[in-house]
């Protein structure tokens, strides 16, 4: 990962600010002859799209992905050519609001102060480069990554905790995620969670959440020790998502309370004399290499810092002030992170597949 | 990070297996004219050294670091020359035990199966490349990184949880760490923890733990969004440590339960009209860039899977068997991870410093 | 350099095909607060633009660069923000000619066969990704690199040989380049060269050439041995230009005939007691590091393979055939390479500057 | 390529100074299960070894390579394990001569001044890091690369020009190289060249040379446009060799004098209806991708600057002085570069093979 590029062989470079003319990404290293059109990308973007429910920002964006390169139709339909795939997404709702205040004052909990401290300048409009809007590029790249992985690898994520409300591990049901506006990994919790989140929203407040991830169908052998471990790459990719504050693989922090007996996943042979594990505390990764079990991870997201209550802060000019974030905001940014978590995992896995194929054939 | 190299400008490549003739690392990109001798490295290695107490593996290693290149004494004492620093650490205690059983059977919870699945071959002696022995190279590199950072940046870590026993956040005292064999970040807990860990050890069992990290003196502006974020780099570096299963920055998973009001660290000016934060839920990083606050993180470690109780497993030849790990082992591998956590943080910070200097001057 | 990205800290990723909707690049790692608008880029693109004279392809392109990100006007004019600069150049003249023949038959000397052999698919329209059209992205990136380098570093190139016609080293005058349509580094040769090239053009043939490069104002110390040497990076960057077949630094192949006495540039002190060299066989680079002398290089370009004479070739379907390239073509592709050579040198130098600043401060 | 590492997937990091305790390299990314012992490496090192004839430096080094990691014998002989291969070569002949003079004065034509200007310090003993001694590490890495490539790819190099004496292209015979101390690619020239070089040697002078390279058996499809082109990677790898000043692919600078008709290699089908080229001006690379023809290149080397005639120079302390290089030196450094040229080509090709396999399978 280097600044605005991630991946080693499946490399994604993203660019663009929240309120510039467009955002986008360039995907390099994609294998050739993979059928690909905008229709393969758009459904994933539609999932992440703002404006879909009252629980996410009301910014209006069609988030239409346009492929500008790297795909060619030689008669049998558009396929990747092995050259860079450039994807462009226009920004449409660059609301002409007055940015005077946040141009001047640093929003607490936002990247404003840090960008200014680093660069001495920042595009303050809507968060500029640090806006969650950039994650649309990740989702587009993830759609391409899924095409590389094929149907054998299934990647799913869902919200498993909002504030104090948790879904018990055994109740997690990723099939429930597409059917509810909260991306909750359980249909049962939705009414309660909606009520809870409506309360947060109406109070002009916000709340954190945890997203769980599961990738099935990952064969044993992906990941490259010691610094390109599959779990290391996943941790980096997931932690790079806006508002992420923690990443766990398998048992995660729970492993700190486990004994060696409980933690080590025992092995037997199945009826076909293939290896099976009797548990999955490891989250499908041992020594940084996939084992053939499901790869599981969890990501903690902080609440958005854009809230209606005035907060103490300072200005660029060195004055103390109080700031209240006006306008649209997400009561729980983690909801829209669900497709992003999936996308980042898809990119990491596609990259791991290519790297493994390179070294081992 | 790519396979066995990490870092972008301060680049560390490590090599070596547990029972080969030696392990070591090559450090590239170190600034020139930094005073450096083996004496700057050895104390950190001595901290991590096995055999130091009854709570860590009884393998006997002097862990003597030898600098083979990149340092030159032109009359004023040895200094770095800007060329690669090669560090060699001989393996001394390659006990000639019978590896027949673990050559054949996969130790549950270990990397054995995964390495074999990936490479079709593995150096099974003492875990080969996946052995924690490799972390000595990281500690050596971390010692060099500290020299780059200078005394202004202080990096400290300590164990804050062993199994069910936790140190309350307000009781964490990194000054206590060097004074006890458990690397515990509180002197008070030591007697209880020793008793607890003696029980684990005598039972031939093992237990997980959590290590906390704090880096003070990091100026605002380090880290490069979006995929070279400081927290992203830290997450990757820490997750790459053997047995790590989770990483948190600042409030971490706790942020999932915070409201926007509680999470966003408010700002004021101090008496010198410099920015101060009234809290540090962010862990010193906003938008992937350091803010000038302390950088804080936590890492969860699983228990070692080498335990005395026989466990169900399979062999390379496709037979079911039961395996009991004989010989020396760590009841809590996380203890020896404390210097490694510090070292990885030092490397990440030195790299971030150089990258920041490159782009911003 | 990795596939479609070059540079280490000043990183340029290019994308796009000759006959797709657009081409472009993403520049990452640019320092912040550098004044930059499209007007800083356009003049360099205009130099390279096709259709400018009878000696270059008659394709009509305005080559208008649009900056989509990474620049922000906070009141004092647009400046770089340190985030990725995405530059888009629309393709306008995608002449709807019949590509049937070259879709099927490999043009000898072109990349057609190689792309097909590698990828099993290729965008054959106008050469697709291998078209010289891509070099517009390089020129745009080079314009940004020049802004980083500032006025102190001056980078100039010119044609010094076309076919058998050479400009003697002592007659090279880079000031003459902008004033003639042949980019010749001497005003005197222009009438003869025009007559010669008119003959080549009318014969439907083409001819190779050599471009010389000189960068003045490069301070001593840039370049990083051993594999990031300044001359190594230059060689790679220049060899990556379409049709390049050879690169020399300083005396180049001529050094093979020099004695040690003649080759080693002797040193004295100038009136300010600063080091001066009495010759520059080294081309401004020793041990891979700039010496403060002018950095000089030469690049050999092959003739374009698109000629009117029918040539023997084979088809994708494994048939022998003869092929005659119809339509517009360059009699000497090297002419338009002059701004590209300058641009690549600018990118390499900007990158070397940032890398040096990172390591040495 | 980044500082002291080259390659993307087959990555080689070298370290060490001429007069330190040792030099060496770490090879990362090597495929597993390739038989490898020191005996596979040593013969190549022996070729490059100093002290072999009166035409190369009389330094006495056994250049014994020791493999420290990455190879394991599980009963069927030592094979690579997919983990880093660390190779160590001790420096033996660190003659205790007085370095006082060259510690102070910059040798004209050497890297002394440039290193000092960049780093403010340099290991002056025997050239330190810039010594040709480092190329032993490259040769060791090249030996491993050859094992990856297998016997199907044959890489050969030889001297084709010394000073004014050239071997005509049609007379080049790589089979002659191992049989003469000049690495000349023709047995016929040897007596004359020996006489010529004896003259140079006795005069205490030195002379440049050109080395030609040919790799046969490279399948079509290797190399990755646009910035990882096979010819670009080769150019960088070859230009990174000490004393290299120019690199050509195929017709090279000669292409500047070719017409399009002569330059474009025509294609026909052979008796098996496989593509054949009727010439090889391209040097086996089109659009940066191998075509299945032999890959051919040439490298120009400057004469060593260590000569007996006193040369004007300056000192570190800013004084003018004259310097005469005492002690052993090479009359023509290019001779010993022949195995290095081969080794770098082997590394580039192994890397290209892995990259191609990653993307295309």
Helix (H, G, I), strand (E, B) or coil at D251: coil
Residues forming a β-bridge with C117? none
pLDDT, position B98:
59
Higher pLDDT among residues D47 and D326, named by residue: D47
- Cα B61 to chain centroid, rounded: 19
Model pLDDT for residues A285-310, shown as the tens digit of each residue: 999 999 999 999 999 999 998 888 99
Residue numbers in D near B81 (CB within 8 A) = 119, 121-123, 128-129
Distance, CA of B122 to CA of B130 (rounded, Å) = 10
* pLDDT confidence tier of residue C154, bands split at 50, 70 and 90: very high
Q: Which residue from C2, C26, C72 is facing A26, i.e. has the nearest CB?
A: C26
Query: So what's the pLDDT on residue C150?
Result: 98
- Cβ A228–B111 below 8 Å, yes or no? no
Task: Say yes or no to pLDDT of D1 above 60.
Answer: no
What's the whole-number average pLDDT of chain C? 94
What is the tens place of the pLDDT at every residue in A54-113?
787 767 788 999 999 999 998 899 999 999 999 999 998 766 565 677 789 999 999 999
> What Å distances lie between residue A211 and A90, A300, C59, C343, CA to CA?
28, 7, 52, 46
Cβ separation C68–A16 shorter than 8 A: yes
Select from C153, C154, C147 the least CA-distant residue to C34: C147
Contact (Cβ atoms closer than 8 angstroms) between residue B295 and residue B218 = yes
Whether D13 and B2 lie within 8 Å, measured CB to CB = no
Query: Would the CB atoms of A28 and C5 count as touching at under 8 Å?
Result: yes
Instruction: Give contacts of A83 with chain D, Cβ < 8 Å.
Output: 225
Q: How many CB pairs under 8 A join A and B?
A: 378
Per-residue confidence at C326, pLDDT binned at 50, 70, 90? confident
pLDDT at A1: 47
Whether B96 has a pLDDT exceeding 80, the answer reads: no
Dist CA C125 CA C102 (whole Å): 8
Beta bridge partners of C248: C298, D246
Residue with structure tokens 């899977």? B305
In D, which residues are within 8 Å of A357 by CB distance? 357-358, 361
Q: Report the alpha-carbon distance of residue D9 to residue D29 in Å, rounded.
A: 6
- Express each pLDDT in B204-251 by its tens digit: 999 999 999 999 999 999 999 999 999 999 999 999 999 999 999 999
Asked if the C-beta of D265 comes within 8 angstroms of chain C's C-beta atoms, the answer is: yes
Q: Among C32, C359, C361, whose Cβ lies nearest the Cβ of B9? A: C359
Cα–Cα–Cα angle for A171, A239, A360, nearest 5°? 90
Other CB atoms within a 10 A radius of the CB of residue B203 amount to: 16
Provide the pLDDT for residue D330. 82
pLDDT one-digit tens code per residue, D109-136: 999 999 999 999 999 998 899 999 999 9
Cβ of C100: how many Cβ atoms within 10 Å?
A: 9
More confident residue, D55 or C351: C351
Measured between beta carbons, the chain C residues lying within 8 angstroms of A121 are 32-33, 72, 74, 79, 81-82
Is A118 in contact with B288 (Cβ distance < 8 A)?
no
Q: pLDDT band at C275, cuts 50/70/90?
A: very high
What mean pLDDT do residues A180-194 have?
Answer: 97
Residue B221's pLDDT is what? 98
* Beta-carbon separation of B359 and C83 below 8 A: no
What is the distance between the alpha carbons of residues B286 and B297, in angstroms, rounded to a whole number?
A: 14
Full-prediction pTM beyond 0.95? Answer: yes
Of A235-244, B46-55, C23-32, minimum mean pLDDT range: B46-55
pLDDT at position D95 is: 62
- pLDDT given at position B1: 47
Alpha helices in D53-189 (DSSP H): 100-104, 112-119, 135-149
- Residue A103, token pair as written in the block: 């141009």
- DSSP codes of every residue in C30-85: PPSS-B--HHHHHHHHHHH-TTSSTTS--------EEE-SSEEESSS-EEE-SS-E
ipTM higher than 0.90? yes
Q: What is the pLDDT of residue B330?
A: 82
Which residues make Cβ contacts (< 8 Å) with residue A90, sequence separation at least 6?
A21, A22, A64, A66
Indicate the SS3 state at residue C238. Answer: helix
- The predicted pLDDT at position A48 comes to 80
Q: Which residues in chain C touch residue A124, judged by CB atoms under 8 angstroms apart? A: 74
> What is residue C1's three-state secondary structure?
coil
Q: How many CB pairs under 8 A join A and C?
A: 148
Q: Tokens representing D213?
A: 């390279």
* Contact (CB, 8 A) for B361 and C82: no
Has residue C1 got a pLDDT over 50?
Answer: no
Query: In this model, does residue C49 exceed pLDDT 80?
Result: no
- Residue identified by tokens 């009414």 is A191
Are D128 and B21 inside 8 Å of each other by CB? Answer: no
How far is it, in rounded angstroms, from Cα A167 to Cα A158?
10
Residue C157 Cα, gap to closest chain B Cα (Å):
28
Name, in order, each residue with C-beta under 8 angstroms of C151's C-beta and a sequence gap of 6 or more. Answer: none
CB atoms within 10 A of CB A192: 12
């Amino acid at each position: 990962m280097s600044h605005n590029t991630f991946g080693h062989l499946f490399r994604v470079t993203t660019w663009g600010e929240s309120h510039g003319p467009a955002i986008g990404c360039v995907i390099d290293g994609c294998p050739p002859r993979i059928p690909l059109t905008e229709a393969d990308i758009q459904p994933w973007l539609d999932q992440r799209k703002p404006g879909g429910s009252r629980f996410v920002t009301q910014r209006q964006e069609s988030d239409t992905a346009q492929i500008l390169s790297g795909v060619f139709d030689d008669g049998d339909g558009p396929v990747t050519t092995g050259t860079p795939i450039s994807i462009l997404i226009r920004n449409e709702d660059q609301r002409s609001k007055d940015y005077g205040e946040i141009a001047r004052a640093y929003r607490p909990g936002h990247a404003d102060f840090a960008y200014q401290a680093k660069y001495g300048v920042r595009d303050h409009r809507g968060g500029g480069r640090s806006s969650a809007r950039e994650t649309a590029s990740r989702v587009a790249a993830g759609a391409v990554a899924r095409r590389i992985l094929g149907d054998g690898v299934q990647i799913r994520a869902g919200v498993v905790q909002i504030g104090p409300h948790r879904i018990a591990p055994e109740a997690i049901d990723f099939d429930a995620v597409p059917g509810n506006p909260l991306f909750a990994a359980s249909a049962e919790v939705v009414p309660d969670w909606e009520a809870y989140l409506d309360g947060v929203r109406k109070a002009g407040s916000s709340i954190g959440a945890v997203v769980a991830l599961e990738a099935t169908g990952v064969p044993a052998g992906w990941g490259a020790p010691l610094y390109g471990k599959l779990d290391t790459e996943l941790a980096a990719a997931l932690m790079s998502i806006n508002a992420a504050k923690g990443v766990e693989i398998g048992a995660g922090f729970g492993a700190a309370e486990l004994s060696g007996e409980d933690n080590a996943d025992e092995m037997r042979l199945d009826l076909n004399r293939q290896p099976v594990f009797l548990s999955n505390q490891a989250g499908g990764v041992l020594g940084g290499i996939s084992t053939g079990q499901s790869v599981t991870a969890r990501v903690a997201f902080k609440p958005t810092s854009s809230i209606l209550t005035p907060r103490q802060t300072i200005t660029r000019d060195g004055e103390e002030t109080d700031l209240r974030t006006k306008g649209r905001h997400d009561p729980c940014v983690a909801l829209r992170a669900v497709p992003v978590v999936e996308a980042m995992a898809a990119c990491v896995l596609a990259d791991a597949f290519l790297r493994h194929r390179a070294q081992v054939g």
